[in-house]
């Protein structure tokens, strides 16, 4: 199987294109300091609380999800948070940094593929992230549009339905994501070929994402988006970075 066999790339955003663990830790820093919670523990607890909140309120905007997660974490860690702190965390996603390789890699991949976002986010929050990524996506599909959060299979069926309207068959789609739990397991179930961007290579645990009960299948694995772009360039007989 070659990367050039595909015409469309769908992307998870947070953890794949945007360095959400760095962003999350910066936004959680005041609460972590009060609770004396270490970095890895904070990320692991965040993963549990975020997934639980998304399951409980699947139609809530992501900014509201984050607001409620901050409240949940404070309670879980046995400290108090103010409404203003909860709200500030809820609106922090646009401030999370892009991975350094994301903008250039996306700009290159745009030459050869249609690019689609499939993200657990609301449109207003993603707009801030999109400015950091610096590329125009051919479609942006969010939890706000779908009414559920990955790994719900409805999100991947929504993706398939949308790309069909773009003239892309399932076999022409490659889903590119970091999270095994949110993306690769449901992509397997939907019959979508996937590429693992293993941003946490060499680190223990799942960080800010829950770990899956089983290791899913994926057709390709790279440790950065830049490495994916380099592999595509090699198949095309081009160079990246140019």
Separation between Cα atoms, residue 144 and residue 194, nearest integer Å? 23
**Residue count (the chain):** 242
Q: What share of the chain is helix, strand, coil (3-state, %, to 5)?
A: 50, 10, 35
Beta strands in the chain (DSSP E): 8-11, 114-119, 139-142, 173-177, 193-197, 220-222
**Is 122 assigned a catalytic role?**
no
12, 19, 86, 183: the active-site residue: 12
Enter the DSSP assignment of 113.
S
Peptide bond into 131 cis (omega under 30): no
Separation between Cα atoms, residue 234 and residue 96, nearest integer Å? 31
Separation between Cα atoms, residue 55 and residue 237, nearest integer Å? 45
Residue 22's CB is within 10 A of a number of other CB atoms, namely 12
Residue 54's CB is within 10 A of a number of other CB atoms, namely 22
Closest by CA to 110, choosing from 11, 195, 187, is: 11
At which residue do the structure tokens 């081009």 appear?
Answer: 238
Q: Which residues are catalytic?
A: 12
């Amino acid at each position: 199987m070659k990367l050039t066999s595909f015409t469309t790339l769908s992307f998870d955003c947070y953890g794949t294109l945007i360095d959400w663990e760095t962003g999350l830790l910066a936004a959680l820093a005041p609460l972590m300091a009060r609770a004396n919670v270490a970095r890895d523990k904070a990320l692991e607890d965040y993963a549990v609380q975020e997934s639980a909140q998304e399951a409980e309120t699947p139609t809530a905007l992501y900014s509201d999800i984050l607001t409620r997660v901050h409240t949940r974490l404070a309670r879980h860690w046995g400290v108090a948070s103010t409404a203003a702190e909860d709200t500030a965390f809820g609106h922090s996603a646009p401030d999370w940094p892009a991975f350094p390789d994301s903008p250039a890699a996306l700009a290159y991949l745009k030459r050869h593929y249609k690019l689609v976002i499939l993200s657990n986010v609301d449109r207003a929050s993603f707009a801030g992230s999109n400015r950091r990524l610096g590329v125009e996506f051919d479609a942006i599909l969010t939890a706000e549009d779908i009414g559920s959060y990955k790994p719900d299979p409805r999100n991947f069926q929504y993706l398939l339905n949308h790309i069909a309207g773009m003239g892309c068959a399932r076999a022409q789609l490659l889903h590119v994501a970091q999270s095994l739990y949110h993306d690769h397991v449901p992509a397997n179930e939907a019959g979508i070929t996937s590429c693992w961007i293993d941003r946490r290579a060499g680190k223990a645990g799942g960080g800010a994402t829950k770990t899956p009960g089983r290791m899913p299948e994926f057709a390709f694995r790279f440790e950065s988006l830049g490495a994916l772009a380099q592999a595509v360039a090699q198949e095309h007989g081009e160079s990246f970075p140019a």
